[in-house]
């Protein structure tokens, strides 16, 4: 027997689909219309489906479950619709600062000072501690093009490659480039070697020109009490160096995506490299549908765990630039990655299941 339609019981298409999508992520209770739930979470239930305020309320509910602090800001590039939580507090960038470094490197290429095919030799003094592959190879004996060096810096987050580039472009020049783009809250101050040594309370100057073997030996000589380690770490976390806000990192990503950070051809090279990133399988990418196109960069040190990038929506629905910076109460990579993945999927679903860019509410 065919049941007659009861239109009073049919929710709006936008609200229904977003509710279903967020139910999968465990966010449906925050959006439920049950009076008891509404009383418990009024900020989530009073906002309208399909609006940035609703998205922001759900992002807030995810952030509140995390044992620590999170700065997140997401913007649909085509429409300008955006939402965030704590987007204007500076957070440690860790290796996400390699995106600004890449921008400054491409500016040198664009000016004609360098070329992407320019060969660069790896020496024993270029091999540094931390992530990547170059420190495990034999040097001398390897020559990389500038583009391959930049690719290593991004896709494997190679610290040796990063320091080879930052030594050439200069940290101050990277920060100056950000200022020229109107980004006042992104600053790059140190090489990755300096950053890691500062995190461990070890002086940089004695090993500034040292080989990897000498750096490791020097590091092993340093002995500190647990109290001293804790003090060093707090000083590192609280310092202003190498920090950015989620809002401005997202703005930088949009400038790159729109071909405004540099000439479009240079920006396209940056995006091509970012799309090849192999790190962070459980972060921005963690809950996205398989095959989702993503150009991003991760960062990790101690209680800092980040991922920033551009998510490409299917069916020509546009692109979403998103930056997530986390600072955990205690080192907890698994929970931080889960929070980043949850935030990314929530943003993805919201922009996927709302109106096309030409019909976005402002």
The structural domains of the chain, ordered by start, are 12-93+244-359 (3.40.710.10), 95-238 (3.40.710.10)
Spacing of C-alpha 40 from chain mean position: 32
Region 33-57: mean pLDDT is 58
Region 27-33: mean pLDDT is 34
Residue whose pair of structure tokens reads 């540099």 in the numeric block: 262
User: Model-level pTM?
Assistant: 0.86
Nearest-angstrom CA–CA distance, 70 and 78? 25
> What's the chain's length in residues?
362
Examine the pLDDT at 344 and tell me if it is beyond 50: yes
Give per-residue pLDDT as tens, 125-178.
999 999 999 999 999 999 999 999 999 999 999 999 999 999 999 999 999 999
Examine the pLDDT at 19 and tell me if it is beyond 70: no
Examine the pLDDT at 15 and tell me if it is beyond 50: no
| DSSP tag of 5 | P
Spacing of C-alpha 81 from chain mean position: 19
Residue 227 tokens read as: 């109290």
Neighbours of 25 (CB within 10 A): 16
Residues forming beta bridges with residue 244, ordered by sequence position: 91, 186
Examine the pLDDT at 58 and tell me if it is beyond 60: yes
Nearest-angstrom CA–CA distance, 45 and 33? 7
Give per-residue pLDDT as tens, 226-268.
999 999 999 999 999 999 999 999 999 999 999 999 999 999 9
Cα separations (Å) of 75 from 82, 216, 251, 254, 352? 4, 42, 9, 9, 13
Examine the pLDDT at 308 and tell me if it is beyond 80: yes
Predicted confidence at residue 51, as pLDDT, reads 85
Nearest-angstrom CA–CA distance, 184 and 304? 21
- Determine contact, residues 87/75, Cβ cutoff 8 Å: no
Percentage with pLDDT > 90 across the chain = 82
Residue 208 tokens read as: 């500034």
Predicted confidence at residue 358, as pLDDT, reads 52
């Amino acid at each position: 027997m065919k049941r007659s339609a009861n239109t009073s019981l049919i929710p709006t298409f936008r609200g229904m689909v977003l509710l279903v999508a967020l139910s999968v992520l465990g966010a449906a209770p925050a959006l439920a219309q049950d009076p008891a739930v509404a009383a418990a979470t009024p900020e989530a239930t009073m906002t309208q489906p399909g609006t940035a305020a609703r998205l922001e309320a759900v992002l807030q509910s995810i952030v509140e479950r995390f044992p620590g602090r999170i700065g997140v800001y997401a913007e649909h590039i085509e429409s300008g619709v955006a939402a965030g939580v704590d987007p204007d507090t500076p957070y440690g960038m860790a290796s996400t600062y390699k995106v600004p470094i890449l921008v400054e490197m491409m500016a040198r290429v664009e000016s004609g000072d360098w070329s992407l095919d320019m060969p660069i030799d790896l020496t024993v003094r270029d091999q540094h501690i931390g992530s990547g592959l170059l420190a495990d190879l034999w040097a001398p004996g390897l020559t990389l093009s500038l583009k391959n060096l930049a690719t290593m810096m991004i896709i494997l987050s190679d610290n040796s490659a990063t320091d080879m580039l930052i030594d050439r472009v200069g940290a101050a020049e990277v920060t100056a480039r950000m200022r020229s783009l109107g980004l006042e809250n992104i600053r790059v101050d140190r090489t990755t070697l300096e950053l890691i040594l500062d995190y461990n309370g070890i002086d940089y100057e004695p090993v500034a020109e040292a080989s990897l073997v000498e750096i490791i030996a020097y590091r092993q000589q340093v002995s500190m009490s647990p109290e001293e380690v804790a003090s060093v770490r707090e000083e590192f976390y609280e310092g202003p160096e190498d920090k950015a806000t989620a809002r401005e990192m997202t703005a930088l990503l949009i400038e790159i995506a729109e071909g405004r950070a540099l000439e479009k051809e240079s920006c396209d090279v940056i995006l091509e490299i970012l799309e090849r990133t192999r790190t962070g399988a459980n972060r921005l990418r963690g809950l996205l549908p398989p095959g989702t196109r993503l150009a991003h960069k991760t960062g990790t040190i101690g209680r800092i765990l980040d991922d920033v990038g551009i998510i490409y929506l299917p069916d020509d629905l546009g692109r979403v630039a998103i930056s997530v910076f986390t600072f955990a109460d205690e080192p907890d990579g698994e929970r931080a990655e889960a929070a980043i993945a949850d935030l990314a999927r929530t943003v993805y679903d919201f922009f996927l299941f709302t109106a096309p860019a030409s019909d976005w509410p402002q």
